[in-house]
C-alpha cells in the first residue's frame, strides 16, 4: 500500500472545562470535528448540572498539506506524549498507554 499525502491534515488539542485535554488528528481539517475521546470518560468527570452548558476549545498544534498518514500518526503520538494527554490526570487519550515516570525528564 502506498502512503500518499493527505490534504490539509491537522493534529489538534481539545480542552474541556475541567482542563483535561484530548489530542487527535483530522485528515480533512473539518471545523466541526472535535475528536473521538471516550464519552464515558468525559461524562464521568462532569455533573448533570455542569453538562447543561459546556464549552470546549480546539487548538491546532500542527498542520500539513503534504504529510503522509504515517507522518500524521507520528505527530499525533508525539503531541499525546509531550502533552501527557494519555495521563488520566491530564487527558482523555488512552493510547499509547500511559507509563508513570519516577525520574524527572530533562
Q: What is the pLDDT of residues 86-106, one digit of tens each?
A: 999 999 999 999 998 766 665
**Would you state the cell numbers that stand for residue 73, as one nine-digit string?**
500518526
Provide the whole-model pTM.
0.87
Give the single-character DSSP code of 48.
T
Bridge partners, residue 57, by sequence: 15
Question: If you average pLDDT over residues 23-43, what whole number do you get?
Answer: 91
Instruction: Convert the pLDDT of each residue in 65-80 to its tens digit.
Output: 999 999 999 999 999 9
Residue 18 pLDDT exceeds 70? yes
Cβ atoms < 10 Å from Cβ of 93: 28
- CA 9, 92, 89, 101 torsion-angle sign: negative
Q: What percent of the chain has pLDDT over 70?
A: 92
The predicted pLDDT at position 102 comes to 63
Q: What is the phi-psi region of residue 39: left when phi exceeds 0, alpha when psi lies from -120 to 50, beta otherwise?
A: alpha
Amino acid at each position: 500500500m502506498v502512503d500518499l499525502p493527505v490534504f490539509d491534515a491537522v493534529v489538534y488539542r481539545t480542552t474541556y472545562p475541567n482542563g483535561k485535554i484530548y489530542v487527535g488528528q483530522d485528515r480533512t481539517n473539518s471545523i466541526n470535528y472535535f475528536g473521538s475521546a471516550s464519552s464515558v470518560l468525559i461524562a464521568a468527570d462532569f455533573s448533570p448540572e455542569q453538562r447543561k452548558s459546556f464549552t470546549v476549545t480546539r487548538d491546532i498544534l500542527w498542520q500539513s498539506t503534504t504529510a503522509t498518514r504515517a507522518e500524521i500518526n507520528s505527530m499525533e503520538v508525539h503531541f499525546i506524549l509531550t502533552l501527557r494527554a494519555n495521563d488520566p490526570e491530564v487527558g482523555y487519550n488512552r493510547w499509547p498507554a500511559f507509563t508513570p515516570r519516577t525520574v524527572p525528564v530533562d
